[in-house]
Structure 1
């Protein structure tokens, strides 16, 4: 077996095992047979693994059409919408394991076809005009599947609808937890804490965690003014909870961030090494 083949096999095992996928996400909630079947779409030419190398490498672009859904296998992406003033407004962050662009498959605009279609279904209108832009914070790995293929998978694979429903519910729960918080510093702490993969940080021995978001994006995401975010981060810098740089925020003390957020975690940051991110 060549080195490239070994790398491909290791990637396959990691993806089938849903390593790094957010708890409650579509990919994490699917069983291993379902994950293997979706990855098999790539080998069969009905899907593709795509590497998104930066924020200019967009999954979806507002006003453009597309024909696919994307399962986010690694990395974080941001969902933005253009404002009249010409500035992007950050609506939400999506996490590893979550699915994007699934709305087309949920519209159920399929009709029973004849024998000409091997799946027994065809789509009346395959394209979707996107109302948001989706782009990686730094990088991302996605499994792109045609909307018709995703709908067939949901219809044919046991447990797929339950996995999707859990994904959608977890998104709503996260938004309610974050936006429902009345205290601004706790709301910001919850937003930052939600982006930290504590299991991966513990595995890799990282104590400093770098998040690629601007202060304006953070303000838009949690629904407060940019000045409020600047004030809170100024206090946290003095307390050495975070460091800020150009378009980045580095969490130095995840344990203190969790305390401010009033979030309980099973991971003990004191176990982490003193290595930097």
Structure 2
């Protein structure tokens, strides 16, 4: 059993509105590993949609609220089931707060923000969740934010390999973008759909039953393509995988 940690969880917009079971499964896993989990109901968005769309004043307003919601004088960790949101807080917030009186507070918080699988492997030292069982063949999609913003690659794969009954197979171009990219999928629909098609075709070529990733936004995009084209594969967030079977 990992040593006890106190966690403040951040539930991203996509998870809150569309995949609440993923947030609950993250909590289930963290508590199983001996963590004390706190949830602040005042939390909202990290500000990424506004920031990426160029609405910097609005993004700063949301970032300031995030700072208020999660600034804690204790050593609490902040954990989210989304590398996209974690990447926003770790990286884009540096630009937002660079000339702000809140910069010191932000630096203190920045060091405590982790994506879910990253927290398990890098902080708790966990590569296997006891009791996790899920039978089938799975392939892993490296989300852009996890890989490029947070440097996450080996950890999720190690966790998946620790799930009994699960066979992990690598797809071609696993590090290539799925085509979502937030508003990119709206502004460049044809390109976005073609990228989703390529990603799903690569996954199907492995014979996998599921595509798994750290980011619900990627999985939502791929699942929409899968359902529209009636492809014989499904998507699953890694928190849901690790919470299966117990």
Larger Rg, first or second structure (1 or 2)? 1
- TM-score, scaled to structure 1: 0.29
- TM-score, scaled to structure 2: 0.31
Whichever structure has more strand as a proportion of its residues is 1
